[in-house]
Amino acid sequence: MAGSVINRGNGHWELRIPMGYDANGKQIRQTKRVKATSKRAAQKELDKFYWSVMQNPQEKPDVKMTFGEFAAIWEDRHNNRLALTTRMIQKSLLDDRIMDEFKGVPLHKISAEQIMKFVDKLRQPKQNRVMKGKSLSATMVHKHYKLLNHMLSKAVEWKMLTHNSCDDISKSERPKPDYHHYPIWQEEELKKFLTIIDALPNSPREIKHKTMFYVALMSGSRKGEFSALTWDAIDWKEKCIHIDKAQKYIDSDHVEISAPKTPESVRGLYVDDYVMELLRQHKEIQDRYLRWKGYENLHGYIFLAVRLRHDELVPVSPSCLYIWLNKICKENDLPHITVHSLRHMAATYALNHGAPLTTVQTMLGHTNIRTTSIYLHPLDAQRKQTAKVLSQHLKALRNESKEDE
């Protein structure tokens, strides 16, 4: 039962029922003093008091609270406790358009109709220096709606609002994301790229980027995960890389090294002898560089940024590999891919060559196996093989039909 009992001595007990929070984040509660011979008896009185309050609530949400005032409470109580990238993205969505629309509106007056008008406005081309008459993508519209829905749900949870108006919008009318598959290379394209980079000179820069590339492709790790790797995460004997942290990077002034995305993201990823040899070469080069410069790699980062930040060695930014990757693609007429494409390729090639879906799920650190299935892309070679198998089967059926005649 919601609520608590406080022993005030001499058989007197105070009953407390939480009723949410006011505009300053202070808890609102209903209280009552009763006499009871024991805590158990006081708990029974609390049950009666709770149902009485629920049937005839004296405290109601603050009707004067505006969305802007609530947003400040939400920022302090919820958003500030999230990972850096998440809270910065959500703050950007909130400050960019949501606050423009709802900041001064009383929280309890935000209606489903007003929310849908806001959604329609998001879909219209915006005339400013950044957008230049372009409209937001369906996915970005959905992200704004999803954040607004989440905030109103929190207001209900914290008893600052009695109802979330997003619940009044039919499912068919709610914005939907238009997620797209990350581009991947077919086998011939991947073969071409591997041939190109294996022929690169064994310079410090090329070894570092080749190592990053192969770690990403072999392990399926996220860019925030492999960019935050430290040498103590390498099990040289078992050829295993332990993922236990990730870099959340917005810009050079907003960087955070913390736990990975989910508990399932803490995992061990096995690689082959080729990757281990690249890691050994990279470590030898890095050790010589540190001795030459007189630097100390206090945190033991594997992939160091070229420049110091605040006089300290720091890991590469997650975009470091993309710049190298994109340059080679342009120079060799290869299709454009992103660093996240390597994660999709790791899953696709593993699944297409017989790895169980559950094993790939563990490799990627996914909580839900349905998410892993999204990473399965069609490979031309496997589609041709499927067509060949089907063709042979149909041919056999045709031959059997002729023999029956």
CATH no. for 67-168: 1.10.150.130
State which fold the 187-380 domain adopts: hpI Integrase; Chain A (1.10.443)
Query: What integer pLDDT is reported at residue 389 of this predicted model?
Result: 72
Residue 270 is inside which H or E element, if any?
strand 267-270
State the alpha helices, DSSP H only, in 294-377. Answer: 320-331, 339-352, 357-364, 369-374
Contact call for residues 339 and 327 (beta carbons, < 8 A): no
368-399 confidence digits (pLDDT tens): 877 777 777 767 777 777 677 777 876 776 67
Burial of 44 (0-12, 13-18, 19+ CB in 10 A): middle
Q: How many CB atoms lie within 10 A of CB 351?
A: 20
Domain ranges of the chain: 4-55, 67-168, 187-380
CA distance 384 to 387: 5
Cα-based distances in Å from 218 to 39, 215, 342, 346, 354: 60, 5, 9, 6, 15
C-alpha closest to that of 84 among 224, 245, 254, 227 = 254
Backbone angles phi, psi at 180, to 5 degrees: -120, 150
Q: Is the pLDDT of residue 126 over 80?
A: no
Backbone angles phi, psi at 255, to 5 degrees: -130, 140
Reported pTM = 0.67
Tell me whether strands 267-270 and 240-243 are parallel, antiparallel or unpaired: antiparallel
7: helix, strand or coil? strand
Strand order in the sheet with 4-9: 4-9, 12-21, 27-35
Torsion sign over Cα 307, 337, 369, 173? positive
37-85 confidence digits (pLDDT tens): 999 888 888 888 877 776 665 445 555 789 999 999 999 889 888 878 8
Token pair for 231: 């040498």
Query: What integer pLDDT is reported at residue 153 of this predicted model?
Result: 94
Token pair for 187: 């086998």
Amino acid at 121: K
Q: What is the dihedral of CA 363, 369, 374, 376, to 10 degrees?
A: 60
Contact call for residues 211 and 278 (beta carbons, < 8 A): yes
Q: At what angle do helices 204-219 and 320-331 cross, to 10 degrees?
A: 100
Q: How many CB atoms lie within 10 A of CB 188?
A: 10
The stretch 256-269 carries a mean pLDDT of 87
Residue 1: pLDDT band (50, 70, 90) is: very low
The stretch 328-352 carries a mean pLDDT of 91
CA distance 5 to 1: 11
C-alpha closest to that of 177 among 125, 149, 150, 137 = 137
205-254 confidence digits (pLDDT tens): 999 999 999 999 998 899 999 999 999 999 999 999 999 998 887 777 77
Residue whose pair of structure tokens reads 């000179």 in the numeric block:
201
Q: How many CB atoms lie within 10 A of CB 284?
A: 11
Contact call for residues 65 and 107 (beta carbons, < 8 A): yes
What DSSP line would sit under 179-211, residue for residue? --PPP---HHHHHHHHHHHHTS---HHHHHHHH
Token pair for 126: 């915006």
Burial of 329 (0-12, 13-18, 19+ CB in 10 A): middle
Contact call for residues 33 and 8 (beta carbons, < 8 A): yes
Residue whose pair of structure tokens reads 């039919």 in the numeric block:
170
12-38 confidence digits (pLDDT tens): 988 888 776 665 667 777 788 888 899
Residues with Cβ < 8 Å from 14, sequence gap 6 or more? Answer: 5, 6, 8, 31, 32, 33
CA distance 342 to 363: 13
Residue 112: pLDDT band (50, 70, 90) is: very high
The length of the chain is 405
